Amino acid sequence: MPLVRHYLQFKDFTRAEYEHLFARTRWIKERFKRYERYWPLEDRTLAMIFEKQSTRTRLSFEAGMHQLGGAAIFLSTRDSQLGRGEPVEDAAQVISRMCDIVMIRTFEQEVIERFARHSRVPVINGLTNEYHPCQILADIYTYIEQRGAIAGRTVAWIGDSNNVCNTWLQAAEVFDFNVHVSTPPGYEVEPERAGLYGTDHYEEFADPMQAARGADLVTTDVWTSMGFEAENEARRRAFEDWQVDADMMKAAGPDALFMHCLPAHRGEEVAAAVIDGPQSVVWDEAENRLHAQKALLEFLLLGKVEP
């Protein structure tokens, strides 16, 4: 079997590879804005397997594949044999003989890793309980687009140490920036689950205001991620004081950006005045999922394309 590259977690790529991806993202985005056709993936097919709900991930991959000249097929657990217990290994064998690339949104990271081990084609993580690499790919591109290099900067993560947080922490190791994390007691970072090499690139703060102070970017996510709905009430109580509000953005400073992977709950993890305010770049962040993932699809299928 030929060597196949997958994108299962953020640290799967080097900083140099990300720099290539960001250059391609910029190029692809500019062409797209000028309505210039770019069809390098003509006759290629992406299979998208969703075991959890999605708006942005499905739309950006499906539209992105179409815009690159290829096709995308949507499969959900509900209406495929995966929902009836077909082994992941068997599904990987079959799907990867019919399609050129696969994107999966599922529960445990272990499931996508098993799929990738049995796949003949590249596999992309479209979110697991542990990681969301495509999100942070777009987020870092967005930061660079707005403010320049992220190395040496400080990102404040306020809230749950979830899949998106873990991915920010991996990104900090790749790009050499710092993360100030503030979670309620009992929801702290688990370095092993986050897949970190060490603890040098993040610091934990009991007080979210302290975490935000002087940060270049403040970011958060829902208090209850998909798959954890049974904990909703307990989480609502535990996270009450972890809302990113106007005072927190003031502590960060006037040049700080605000990001949220979306969907957001105004009045819970973020105040409406922040997400709808002048420091928020959430719509650019969401749009950049499209452009960055097109660069990712190009890279995984065609290697390093030079303009």
- The residue range among 52-60, 143-151, 176-184, 275-283 that interacts with ligand CP, by the rule CB under 6 A, is 52-60
Minimal distance in Å, beta carbon 219 to ligand CP? 12
Q: Mask: binding to ligand CP, 117-136, rule CB under 6 A, as x and -? A: ----------x-------x-
Q: Are 160 and 187 in contact (CB under 8 A)?
A: yes
- The residue range among 7-15, 54-62, 240-248, 271-279 that interacts with ligand CP, by the rule CB under 6 A, is 54-62
What are the CA-CA distances from residue 288 to residues 17, 294, 306 (Å)? 18, 10, 20
Minimal distance in Å, beta carbon 207 to ligand CP? 27
Joined tokens for residue 191:
């370095």
Active-site annotation holds for 135: yes
Indicate the residue among 44 and 56 with the shorter CB distance to ligand CP: 56
232 lies in the site for ligand CP, by CB under 6 A: no
Among ligand NVA, ligand CP, none, partner that 221 touches (CB below 5 to 8 angstroms by kind): ligand NVA
Catalytic residue chosen out of the listed positions 221, 235, 260, 279: 221
Minimal distance in Å, beta carbon 135 to ligand NVA? 7
Indicate the residue among 17 and 62 with the shorter CB distance to ligand CP: 62
Indicate the residue among 15 and 236 with the shorter CB distance to ligand NVA: 236
CA torsion through residues 272, 151, 15, 22, sign = positive
Which residues are CB-neighbours of 40 under 8 A, at least 6 positions away? 68, 69, 298, 302, 305
Which residues are CB-neighbours of 166 under 8 A, at least 6 positions away? 130, 131, 189, 193, 194, 195
Q: Are 297 and 68 in contact (CB under 8 A)?
A: yes
54 lies in the site for ligand CP, by CB under 6 A: yes
Among ligand NVA, ligand CP, none, partner that 55 touches (CB below 5 to 8 angstroms by kind): ligand CP
What are the CA-CA distances from residue 274 to residues 20, 35, 43, 89 (Å)? 32, 33, 43, 44
Q: Are 50 and 103 in contact (CB under 8 A)?
A: no
Active-site annotation holds for 146: no
The residue ranges that bind ligand NVA (CB under 6 A) are: 127, 162-164, 221-222, 225-226, 261
Active-site annotation holds for 216: no
Q: Side chain identity at 26, as an amino acid letter?
A: R
Active-site annotation holds for 289: yes
Q: How far apart are CA 135 and CA 56, in angstroms?
A: 10
Catalytic residue chosen out of the listed positions 132, 180, 235, 260: 132
Active-site annotation holds for 132: yes
Pinpoint the alpha helices (H) of 68-218.
Answer: 88-98, 109-117, 133-147, 163-175, 191-194, 208-212
261 lies in the site for ligand CP, by CB under 6 A: yes
Report CA dihedral (117, 296, 176, 208) to the nearest 10 degrees. -90
Indicate the residue among 135 and 251 with the shorter CB distance to ligand CP: 135
Joined tokens for residue 137:
């790919």
Out of 14, 15, 23, 55, the residue judged to bind ligand CP by CB under 6 A: 55
DSSP 151-162: TT-EEEEES---
Angle subtended at Cα 125 by Cα 120 and Cα 127, rounded to the nearest 5 degrees: 150
182 lies in the site for ligand CP, by CB under 6 A: no
CB-based closest residue to ligand NVA: 225
Positions 133 through 162 that interact with ligand CP (CB under 6 A)? 135
The catalytic residue positions are 105, 132, 135, 221, 261, 289
Residues that bind ligand CP (CB under 6 A): 54-57, 127, 135, 261-262
